[in-house]
Amino acid sequence: MTRALDDDALLPLVDALAGGDWLSGEALAQAAGVTRAALAKRISQIEAWGLDIEARPGLGYRLGAPLERLDTARIGLPPPLRKVAVALRVDSTNQRLIEAPPADDPQVLFAEAQTAGRGRRGRDWRSPFGANLYLSLAWSFAGWPPKLGCLPLAVGVAATRALSAAGLDGVQLKWPNDLRIGDAKLGGILIESRSEIGGSCRVIIGLGLNVSMTAAQAADLGQPWISVHAAQDAAGRPRASRNELAMQLLVALGAALRDFEASGFAGFLEDWNRLDLAANRPVRIIGAGSTEIDGIACGIDDDGALIVETPDGRRQHLHAGEVSVRLGPGA
């Protein structure tokens, strides 16, 4: 049985296809110094990475969308970050930074693909190769920050600021951790913490952002979604590169974490309220005890809990770890 090639050995094939043009199987095989049969096996291997590859007799192979790999030289090292790295494929960037030395914090890890990406409440996160941004940022606070439960909300605000700087407006926030355009999901945030009682607090901030994902890559996703490039196309704006978006996100996240450490959530509250997708809309809360709750979303409280007014006029304060929110039609 032929042994599968290591990931690094397959990169020349990925890079050859990156432009999105049709390339003949014969030309690709000659460039790789392999037979057409061996090339077909390599194509199958990189398809398993989540690449959307079209094959057509007489034309050869092409990607469903051009691919731009991440480059740390182009992303840079915005202060106060100490380390930025790009991995080819990992199980989960959050998991890798949970295991990384805290002495290197604040540090960031991007991945071109994840094999076990995860979202909030244990959900899988779709992570096809080179299509989106998958990053985790490890940050060590000297002590336990006040209102730490508001950190996902502050990170969401920072992400919208980065997207605006990269030429994409109209992004809103769905409590507690989704980036949305309309009711279509653009990205999500997952924060995990490691702390010592009375001592330091280390957070791992995971952010996934749809950039150029194709319909084939998002098949069976199970919810409305949108990508940065699709939104920019619809608005008649130039497409932002993945490296530009990565840089803008790191600039915004670094500034936001310094502000949060110094002043908590106060500097983000006005923007969060302006960006709140659920404000004054009917919502259904799932996971609050044994029953579902219907009501009207009324913003958040000082601890970042969602306030929902039920039909009997009562206001309930719901925390992110306990519930999921389904939005009804706009008010």
Q: For residue 207, what is the enclosing H or E element?
A: strand 201-210
Q: What share of the chain is helix, strand, coil (3-state, %, to 5)?
A: 30, 30, 40
Question: How many degrees, rounded to 5, is the angle at CA 131 between CA 126 and CA 134?
Answer: 60
**Burial bucket for residue 138 (CB in 10 Å: 0-12, 13-18, 19+):** buried
DSSP state of 239: P
Q: The tokens 């084939």 sit on which residue? A: 216
Q: The tokens 């409305």 sit on which residue? A: 224
Q: For residue 226, what is the enclosing H or E element?
A: none
Point out the catalytic residue in the list 185, 202, 239, 242.
185
Point out the catalytic residue in the list 120, 126, 174, 202.
120
User: Which token pair is 150?
Assistant: 């508001």
Q: Determine whether 74 is an active site residue.
A: no
Q: Determine whether 315 is an active site residue.
A: no
Neighbour count for residue 41 (Cβ, 10 Å): 13
Radius of gyration of the chain (CA): 21
Q: Determine whether 202 is an active site residue.
A: no
Tell me the DSSP string of 35-88: -HHHHHHHHHHHHTTT--EEEETTTEEEESS------HHHH---TT--EEEEEE
Q: Which residues are catalytic?
A: 120, 185, 326
